């Protein structure tokens, strides 16, 4: 039998994405949410195969991050939390995207995602209603006294307006009606001048496009503003290069960027409800007022969480006290997150509702490591393949950070993404959040990723692994007033044994790092131009608090630092789907080669592990045996039973579903012709399409081994 011949590599990005999207719909991986109502942008549903795939992803992650380790525990927190959490985390004030809008289509874009464009820009200052323009032009009584150039311009304007009116299909005797119509519709405006100053619009015309596009777009724009037949003022023309100010879809100049908070707001519970009997609710206005005043008051505003991480920080103390863990240790969570993305795009890649798998791994500050171990091991001292077996007490934040990067890449490899499809991107200092010491993004080379100058796919983010210092716990300590410090027995014991010079050095370093964080509030006031005295008081307070923290440090207390590997379930599902998609040749019933679509999922992640087929569905002995085999395997793995259609077609359906193994029960299984083959089945491998004869008794251990 022929082996696989080609994979998705080599098929162009957009083409392959179209094929993947269509397969996902056809086979029940992913559907558009609310499709029967036209869909809702940025929301996706997972069908039977997609739901299994996502479940496998989450289970493997949970198993890898929690169950296989002694130092990580799980959490499942609520989606809606106290709004102060989002104040402390910075999301209320800074979780914004700069957004721009196209005045013609009202489509919104993230300002940083607009492609740079070059070409000729036509700036239109405004437009007038053509009928009004004609009237004005005809009423100019002193044309003879004007200079020749102006006269020519007025004549050409008149010809232009006439042309517009004639091509409008409105008969000349009705042109005046248009004006009257306008006066009726906009009684407050003088229809003769209506249009001038309605709004400026600029349109970029790229090389190869016709200049008339600019007039077409501007006319559409003024029509949208209410003009029947807009007559455009002569535009000012300018050349631009690599400008991000224009809509890439139609060349229209975008609005100025405005901040847009990405959190979804909601309202919790009826607060301050007035006596209900005062409201009859028969009057719609009254019921609306009631709703607005008492359901949507600012008092009960809450947010759908934009990340799962904050719940981990908020529950840090509870988990620490109830789990018997000691720093270093981690808390992990999987769950929904919501972001009102300005431009959801690339299929499920940027959605408005998605799932995250996040770990907050709490570590000792480097000063504590040095006090306890005498030195801090950097990332260069890491084993090439670090594992839970060789975690070292000397590791500082850099080593832990690198360790988690390696761990996460190893995880991606274990679910079937080869290292060659991944990119380890170290954020540059200017790209880092102000509190982050380092951040590595793990990118997957999606078919829709941009390409570099060499034509290589650059990849898009699957996961970010950030070294966040003690920022998060410190923020919650500050906002909640509850201490987030831990007591470290080892540090307390080590401290008196240090020589005094070392003690002074470490204490000073710890003081400096706390002061750096604590003085931020004062610095923010400085930026906000607050009274110098208020600033000074804040800075003095910061210094005092930092001194107290440094003193507590010498007694074994500190705010733990954190390394955060944060991954998206949906992005990984999409990466696995893209990676699995392949086309090759396979023989049909008669041995003739035909093209086949096959999803080459790693068996560990495949939605269905094995399909069981009776060769013929109208032979009760075959069906009975096949059902026995299905029932034997079913308690241990996801099994699909299929008796409909020719066996070749059944194989093909499972190839598209990505099922790695197919078991066929045939007449040999019954021992009809060859008794020595009784109670054996054929086991077909999806990728090689090879078939081997296996005893039913050996099937379960074999398949368990192969899908582990
Ligand atoms: N707690 C850190 C955090 O949330 P992030 O980089 O904003 O960091 C982490 O998000 C991961 O969540 C991303 O790497 C991505 O996999 C996933 N993610 C973020 N926004 C997403 C979106 N709009 N749609 C799908 N996945 C998203």
DSSP secondary structure, 479-541, as one string:
HH-----EE-HHHHHHGGGS-HHHHHHHHHHHHHHHHHHHTHHHHHHHHTT--HHHHHHHHHH
For residue 144, how far is its CA from the centre of ligand 1 (angstroms)?
70
Which residue, by CA, sits nearest to atom 10 of ligand 1?
A: 566
How far is C-alpha 35 from the chain's CA centre? Answer: 21
The pTM assigned to this predicted structure is 0.85
Which residue, by CA, sits nearest to atom 26 of ligand 1?
A: 568
- Determine if ligand 1 sits within 6 Å of the CB of residue 310: no
For residue 465, how far is its CA from the centre of ligand 1 (angstroms)?
11
Tokens of 193: 């001048």
For residue 390, how far is its CA from the centre of ligand 1 (angstroms)?
30
* From 356, 408, 441, 446, mutation site for ligand 1 pocket: most ligand atoms within 8 A of C-beta: 356
Which residue, by CA, sits nearest to atom 12 of ligand 1?
A: 568
Amino acid 137: pLDDT: 72
DSSP for 224-287, written as a single string: HTT-SSEEEPPPEEEEEEEESSB-TTT-BBPPPPEEEE-PPEEE-S--SPPPGGG----SHHHH
Which residue, by CA, sits nearest to atom 21 of ligand 1?
A: 350
Adjacent-strand bridge partners of 584? 596
Contact 131, 229 (CB under 8 A): yes
Per-residue pLDDT for 63 more than 90?
Answer: yes
Q: Rounded to an integer, what distance in angstroms lies between the CA atom of residue 652 and that of residue 402? A: 43
Which residue, by CA, sits nearest to atom 7 of ligand 1?
A: 307
Cα torsion through 572, 573, 578, 580, rounded to 10:
110
- Determine if ligand 1 sits within 6 Å of the CB of residue 309: yes
- Determine if ligand 1 sits within 6 Å of the CB of residue 463: yes
Which residue, by CA, sits nearest to atom 14 of ligand 1?
A: 463
- Determine if ligand 1 sits within 6 Å of the CB of residue 566: yes
Amino acid 1: pLDDT: 32
Amino acid 240: pLDDT: 96
Contact partners, residue 465, CB within 8 Å, separation at least 6: 401, 404, 405, 408, 439, 440, 441, 442, 563, 564, 565, 566
Contact partners, residue 567, CB within 8 Å, separation at least 6: 61, 356, 357, 358, 408, 462, 463
pLDDT grade for 272, boundaries at 50, 70 and 90: low
Contact 525, 534 (CB under 8 A): yes
Q: Rounded to an integer, what distance in angstroms lies between the CA atom of residue 86 and that of residue 522? A: 20
Residue 464 CA: which ligand 1 atom is closest?
14
How far, CA to CA in Å, does 458 sit from each of 269, 443, 453, 473? 47, 8, 10, 34
For residue 567, how far is its CA from the centre of ligand 1 (angstroms)?
6
Which residue, by CA, sits nearest to atom 15 of ligand 1?
A: 568
Per-residue pLDDT for 589 more than 80?
Answer: no
Q: Rounded to an integer, what distance in angstroms lies between the CA atom of residue 80 and that of residue 267? A: 10
Residue 310 CA: which ligand 1 atom is closest?
1
Per-residue pLDDT tens digits for 380-423: 888 877 777 789 999 999 999 999 999 999 999 999 999 999 99
Which ranges constitute the DSSP H helices of 28-81? Answer: 48-62
For residue 91, how far is its CA from the centre of ligand 1 (angstroms)?
14
For residue 427, how far is its CA from the centre of ligand 1 (angstroms)?
16
For residue 316, how far is its CA from the centre of ligand 1 (angstroms)?
21
Contact 594, 586 (CB under 8 A): yes
Per-residue pLDDT tens digits for 439-463: 999 999 999 999 999 999 999 999 9
Amino acid 3: pLDDT: 36
Q: Rounded to an integer, what distance in angstroms lies between the CA atom of residue 228 and that of residue 164? A: 11
Instruction: Give the largest Cα separation in the chain, rounded.
Output: 115
Share of residues in the chain with pLDDT > 70 (%): 89
Look at residue 446 and give its three-state secondary structure.
Answer: coil
Amino acid 212: pLDDT: 93
Look at residue 76 and give its three-state secondary structure.
Answer: coil
For residue 218, how far is its CA from the centre of ligand 1 (angstroms)?
38
Share of residues in the chain with pLDDT > 90 (%): 71
Per-residue pLDDT for 51 more than 60?
Answer: yes
Backbone angles phi, psi at 193, to 5 degrees: -105, 0
Please give the mean pLDDT across all residues of the chain.
Answer: 89
Backbone angles phi, psi at 233, to 5 degrees: -65, 155
pLDDT grade for 436, boundaries at 50, 70 and 90: very high
For residue 464, how far is its CA from the centre of ligand 1 (angstroms)?
8
* From 568, 569, 573, mutation site for ligand 1 pocket: most ligand atoms within 8 A of C-beta: 568
The DSSP secondary-structure symbol of 35 reads G
pLDDT grade for 539, boundaries at 50, 70 and 90: confident
Average pLDDT over residues 648-671: 96
- Determine if ligand 1 sits within 6 Å of the CB of residue 347: no
Tokens of 48: 């039977």
Per-residue pLDDT for 575 more than 60?
Answer: yes
User: Of the ranges 72-81, 447-456, 538-547, which is most confident?
Assistant: 72-81
- Determine if ligand 1 sits within 6 Å of the CB of residue 358: yes
* From 566, 569, 574, mutation site for ligand 1 pocket: most ligand atoms within 8 A of C-beta: 566
pLDDT grade for 126, boundaries at 50, 70 and 90: confident
Adjacent-strand bridge partners of 581? 599
Amino acid 292: pLDDT: 64
- Return the minimum-mean-pLDDT range out of 94-108, 135-149, 214-228, 656-670: 135-149
- Determine if ligand 1 sits within 6 Å of the CB of residue 397: no
Tokens of 383: 């084993």
User: Of the ranges 72-76, 536-540, 644-648, which is most confident?
Assistant: 72-76
Per-residue pLDDT for 119 more than 80?
Answer: yes
Amino acid 533: pLDDT: 80
- Determine if ligand 1 sits within 6 Å of the CB of residue 308: no
Strands 639-641 and 610-614: parallel
Residue 463 CA: which ligand 1 atom is closest?
14
Amino acid 619: pLDDT: 94
Per-residue pLDDT tens digits for 473-516: 999 999 999 999 999 999 999 999 999 999 999 999 999 999 99
Tokens of 622: 């075959």
For residue 702, how far is its CA from the centre of ligand 1 (angstroms)?
38
Per-residue pLDDT for 358 more than 60?
Answer: yes
Amino acid 188: pLDDT: 41
Per-residue pLDDT tens digits for 600-659: 999 999 999 999 999 999 999 999 999 999 999 999 999 999 999 999 999 999 999 999
Report the candidate in 682, 693, 597, 696 with the shortest Cα–Cα distance to residue 647: 682
Which residue, by CA, sits nearest to atom 8 of ligand 1?
A: 566
Residue 569 CA: which ligand 1 atom is closest?
16
Residue 466 CA: which ligand 1 atom is closest?
2
- Determine if ligand 1 sits within 6 Å of the CB of residue 339: yes
Per-residue pLDDT tens digits for 182-213: 555 544 444 444 444 467 899 999 999 999 99
Which residue, by CA, sits nearest to atom 22 of ligand 1?
A: 350
For residue 47, how far is its CA from the centre of ligand 1 (angstroms)?
22
How far, CA to CA in Å, does 39 sit from each of 35, 43, 336, 566? 4, 8, 20, 29
Residue 309 CA: which ligand 1 atom is closest?
1
For residue 343, how far is its CA from the centre of ligand 1 (angstroms)?
14
- Determine if ligand 1 sits within 6 Å of the CB of residue 403: no
Which residue, by CA, sits nearest to atom 16 of ligand 1?
A: 568
- Determine if ligand 1 sits within 6 Å of the CB of residue 574: no
- Determine if ligand 1 sits within 6 Å of the CB of residue 464: yes
Compute the C-alpha angle 350/356/360, nearest 5°.
135
**DSSP 3-state percent helix, strand, coil across the chain (nearest 5):** 45, 25, 35
Look at residue 118 and give its three-state secondary structure.
Answer: strand
User: How many CB atoms sit inside 10 A of residue 694's CB?
Assistant: 15
pLDDT grade for 591, boundaries at 50, 70 and 90: confident
The DSSP secondary-structure symbol of 451 reads B
Report the candidate in 412, 581, 423 with the shortest Cα–Cα distance to residue 57: 412
- Determine if ligand 1 sits within 6 Å of the CB of residue 565: no
- Determine if ligand 1 sits within 6 Å of the CB of residue 462: yes
- Determine if ligand 1 sits within 6 Å of the CB of residue 97: no
Q: Rounded to an integer, what distance in angstroms lies between the CA atom of residue 476 and that of residue 310? A: 9
Burial (CB < 10 A; 0-12, 13-18, 19+), residue 44, is buried
Report the candidate in 650, 695, 689 with the shortest Cα–Cα distance to residue 668: 695
- Determine if ligand 1 sits within 6 Å of the CB of residue 472: no
How far, CA to CA in Å, does 451 sit from each of 12, 455, 456, 462, 571? 12, 5, 5, 17, 19
Contact 341, 350 (CB under 8 A): yes
Per-residue pLDDT for 218 more than 80?
Answer: yes
């Amino acid at each position: 039998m022929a082996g696989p011949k080609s994979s998705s590599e080599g098929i162009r990005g957009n083409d392959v994405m179209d094929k993947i999207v269509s397969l996902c719909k056809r086979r029940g991986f992913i559907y558009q949410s609310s499709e029967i109502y036209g869909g809702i942008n940025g929301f996706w549903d997972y069908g039977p195969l997609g739901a299994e795939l996502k479940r496998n992803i989450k289970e493997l992650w949970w198993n890898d991050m929690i169950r296989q380790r002694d130092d990580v525990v799980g959490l499942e927190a609520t989606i809606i939390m106290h709004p102060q959490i989002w104040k402390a985390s910075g999301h209320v004030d800074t979780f914004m995207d700069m957004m721009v809008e196209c005045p013609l289509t009202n489509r919104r874009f993230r300002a940083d995602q607009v492609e740079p464009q070059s070409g000729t820009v036509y700036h239109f200052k405004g437009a007038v209603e053509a009928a009004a323009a004609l009237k004005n032009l005809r009423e100019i009584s002193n044309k003879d006294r004007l200079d020749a150039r102006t006269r020519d311009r007025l004549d050409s304007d008149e010809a232009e307006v006439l042309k517009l009116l004639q091509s409008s299909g409105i008969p000349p005797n009705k042109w005046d009606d248009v004006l009257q119509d306008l006066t009726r519709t906009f009684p407050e405006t003088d229809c003769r001048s209506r249009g001038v100053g309605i709004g400026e619009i600029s349109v970029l015309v790229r090389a190869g496009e016709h200049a008339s596009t600019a007039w077409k777009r501007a006319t559409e724009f003024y029509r949208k503003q209410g003009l029947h037949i807009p007559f455009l003022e002569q535009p000012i023309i300018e050349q631009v290069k690599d400008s991000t100010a224009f809509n890439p879809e139609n060349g229209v100049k975008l609005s100025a960027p405005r901040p847009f908070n990405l959190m979804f707001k909601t309202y919790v519970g009826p607060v301050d409800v007035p006596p209900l009997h005062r409201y009859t609710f028969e009057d719609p206005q009254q019921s609306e007022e009631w709703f607005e005043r008492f359901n949507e008051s600012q008092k009960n505003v809450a947010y759908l969480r934009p990340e799962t991480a904050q719940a981990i920080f908020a529950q840090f103390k509870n988990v620490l006290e109830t789990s018997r863990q000691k720093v270093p240790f981690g808390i992990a969570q999987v769950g929904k997150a919501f972001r009102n993305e300005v431009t959801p795009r690339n299929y499920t890649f940027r959605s408005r509702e998605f799932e995250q798998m996040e770990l907050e791994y709490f570590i000792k500050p480097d000063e504590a490591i040095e006090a306890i171990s005498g030195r801090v091991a950097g990332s260069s001292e890491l084993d090439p393949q670090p594992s839970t077996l060789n975690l070292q007490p000397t590791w500082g934040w850099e080593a832990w950070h690198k360790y988690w990067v390696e761990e996460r890449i190893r995880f991606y490899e274990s679910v079937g993404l080869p290292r060659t499809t991944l990119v380890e991107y170290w954020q540059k200092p200017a790209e880092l959040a102000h509190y982050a010491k380092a951040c590595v993004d793990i990118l997957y080379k999606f078919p829709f990723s941009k390409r570099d100058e060499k034509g290589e796919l650059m990849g898009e983010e699957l996961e970010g692994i950030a070294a966040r210092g003690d920022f998060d716990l410190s923020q919650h300590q500050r906002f909640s007033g509850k201490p987030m410090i831990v007591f470290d027995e080892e540090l307390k014991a080590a401290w008196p044994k240090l020589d005094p010079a070392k003690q002074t050095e470490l204490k000073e370093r710890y003081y400096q790092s706390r002061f750096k964080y604590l003085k931020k509030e004062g610095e923010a006031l400085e930026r906000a131009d607050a009274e110098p005295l208020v600033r000074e008081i804040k800075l003095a307070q910061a210094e005092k608090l930092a001194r107290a923290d440094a003193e507590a440090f010498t007694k074994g207390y500190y705010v733990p630092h954190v390394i955060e590997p944060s991954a998206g379930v949906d992005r990984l599902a999409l990466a696995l789907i893209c990676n699995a998609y392949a086309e090759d040749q396979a023989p049909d019933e008669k041995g003739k080669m035909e093209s086949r679509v096959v999803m080459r999922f790693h068996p560990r992640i495949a939605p269905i592990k094995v399909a069981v087929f009776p060769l013929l569905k109208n032979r009760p002995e075959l069906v009975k045996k096949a059902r026995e085999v299905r029932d034997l395997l079913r308690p241990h793995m996801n099994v699909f039973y299929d008796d409909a259609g020719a066996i070749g077609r059944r194989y093909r359906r499972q190839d598209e579903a990505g099922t790695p193994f197919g078991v066929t029960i045939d007449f040999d299984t019954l021992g009809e012709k060859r008794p020595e083959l009784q109670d054996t089945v054929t086991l077909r491998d999806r990728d090689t399409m090879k078939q081997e004869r296996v005893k039913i008794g050996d099937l379960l251990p074999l398949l368990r081994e192969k899908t582990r």
